[in-house]
């Protein structure tokens, strides 16, 4: 599916985390933690990427009794291509101090 807009830094980071996971399923909480984004940012991106065919999603049964099912995500073949073509941008840190060192 052709894209006409560039991906946001958050989308690039989420795609990179999913790319690192390979064919394993990733849950939302795990993606929040690994990508460093808030759930209000993550879930709309996941919904959009799934609708565009870059992700597949499934409900997985709980691993412990009394827990709800969890939605899990992984990249499709086109999602892998998108992630590889759009790596995260390098983090920009503070400018190095160029003044004289004081002792």
pLDDT tens per residue, range 69-102: 999 999 999 999 999 999 998 766 555 555 555 5
What is the reported pLDDT for 93? 55
pTM: 0.80
Alpha-carbon distance of 92 to 80, in angstroms, equals 25
Residue 5's nearest CA partner among 57, 49, 56, 55 is 49
What is the reported pLDDT for 50? 96
Q: How confident is the model at residue 41 (pLDDT cuts 50, 70, 90)?
A: very high
Q: Can you read off the two tokens belonging to residue 40?
A: 């209000």
Whether 10 and 41 have beta carbons less than 8 Å apart is answered as yes
């Amino acid at each position: 599916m052709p894209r006409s807009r560039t991906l946001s830094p958050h989308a690039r980071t989420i795609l990179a985390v999913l790319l690192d996971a390979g064919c394993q399923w990733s849950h939302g909480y795990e993606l929040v933690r690994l990508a460093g984004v808030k759930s209000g940012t993550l879930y709309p991106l996941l919904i959009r990427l799934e609708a565009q065919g870059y992700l597949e999603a499934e409900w997985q049964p709980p691993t412990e009794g009394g827990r709800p099912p969890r939605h899990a995500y992984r990249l499709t073949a086109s999602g892998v291509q998108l992630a590889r073509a759009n790596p995260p941008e390098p983090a920009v840190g503070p400018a190095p101090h160029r003044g004289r060192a004081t002792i």
